[in-house]
Amino acid sequence: MALTEEQDRDIEAARAAEARTLRPTVPALEALLFRALPVLDHGFVRVIDYMGDDGAVVQAARVSYGRGTKAANEDRGLIRYLMRHRHSTPFEMCEIKYHVKLPIFVARQWIRHRTANVNEYSARYSILDREFYIPAPEQLAAQSSVNRQGRGAVLQGAEAARVLDLLREDATRSYGHYIEMLNEDEGGAAIDPARQGLARELARMNLTLNAYTQWYWKTDLHNLFHFLSLRADAHAQHEIRVYAEAMLRTVEAWVPECFAAFRDYRLGAVTLSAQMLAVVQRMLAGEAVAQRGSGLSQREWRELMEMLGRQS
C-alpha cells in the first residue's frame, strides 16, 4: 500500500499540529495517530482521534472524581473483573475514530456491525480511485466442502493464474467503462468536451466489488471489542481479519490493560454450553464419554473436542 506524496504531506502536517490539552492522552497511541497502517494491497487503517484511556474505564466503574485513585494493580484487577463478568458500560466511556480504506465487499460485511458511526466516501459526488483488491495467490482457495461460508484447499497452477487474470481483467474493464460513462478522468476533468457524461450516482453501479472505498468509523471500546472478537477470530474471512489485526495493534497501544483483559477473556477464551460443561465434568470425573450419549450433536461434539485439543 503506497500513499501519494500529497497524502503523506497531509499526514505529516496533521502530526505537526500539536495542541495542549488537560484531558488524558496516551503516548503509545499518539505515536500512531494519523499514520496509515497498511492492510491488503491498497488498504489501510488510521487512528484519527480518540477519547479516554485505561484510567477512564476505572474512573467510570468507580465514579471517582480523579484518576489513579487506587494502586495500579488494583486498577488492573478491576479492569479484568469488569471484562470477566461482562460489565460493559465502563468500556463505553472510551471512544476511537478510524479512517479505513477497504474493498467494497469487505465494507459490506463490516457494516453489519451497527454499533458505530460511519461516514463513507460517496461515489455520488467523487470518482473512485483506480485501485482493486487482488488476492495473494495463497488466499485463492476453493469453496469449502464442509463450511458454506468458508474456504477449502488453495488453488494451484494454471487454475490459480486464470482466476487472477479474470479478477484483474474484470476490474480493469469495469473501471474503464465507468470512466467512459462518466466522461471524466480521475481528476474530474471532461475527457470529451462535446459529450455529456452519465451521472456519477449511476455510473458507479458498474464497479466491481473489489474496488476500494473509504470511510470514517467511530465506536466505543465495548463495541470495538465485540467487533474484534468476531473479526480477529481465526474463523473470520481473511480480508476482514487482517483489518481487525491492524486495529488490535492500535488498541494495545491505546488501552494496554483493557487489551490484556480482552485478550485473556475474549480472544483467548472459549464459551461452553451447559451441555458441553456437563460433558467436561463427566470427563474430569474419569468417565469415558463418547458423542453418542453425550447429549451433543455431532457438530457440537466436534467443536468441543477442538476446544479441548482432542481428536473428535
In the chain, where the domains are located: 1-132+210-269, 134-209, 274-308
Other Cβ atoms less than 10 A from the Cβ of 47: the count is 23
259: amino acid identity, one letter: F
Q: Which residues contact 215 (CB under 8 A, 6 or more apart)?
A: 99, 100, 102, 107, 118, 119, 120, 121
The number of helices, as runs of H, and strands, as runs of E, in the chain is: 12, 7
Q: What's the CATH fold of domain 1-132+210-269? A: Gyrase A; domain 2 (3.30.1360)
Q: Residue 87, SS3? A: coil
Cα 248 to Cα 75: distance, rounded to the nearest angstrom: 22
Cα 212 to Cα 208: distance, rounded to the nearest angstrom: 9
- Which grid coordinates belong to 46? 488510521
Of the candidates 163, 244, 178, the one whose C-alpha atom is nearest the C-alpha of residue 211 is: 178
Q: Do 79 and 57 contact (CB within 8 A), yes or no? A: yes
pLDDT at 155: 83
pLDDT at 71: 79
* Beta-sheet pairing, 117-120 with 141-143: unpaired
Cα 204 to Cα 177: distance, rounded to the nearest angstrom: 10
Cα 67 to Cα 52: distance, rounded to the nearest angstrom: 11
- Which grid coordinates belong to 129? 480511485
- Residue 200: active-site member: no
Cα 272 to Cα 278: distance, rounded to the nearest angstrom: 9
pLDDT at 69: 56
Among residues 76, 204, 231, 266, the one annotated as catalytic is 231
Cα 76 to Cα 139: distance, rounded to the nearest angstrom: 39
Which residue ranges in the chain fall short of pLDDT 70?
1-2, 65-70, 144-150, 312
* pTM of model > 0.85: yes
Cα 233 to Cα 256: distance, rounded to the nearest angstrom: 19
H/E segment holding residue 13: helix 5-16
Spell out the SS3 assignment of 213-266. EEEEEEEEHHHHHHHHHHHCCCCCCHHHHHHHHHHHHHHHHHCHHHHHHHHHHH
pLDDT at 32: 96
pLDDT at 148: 64
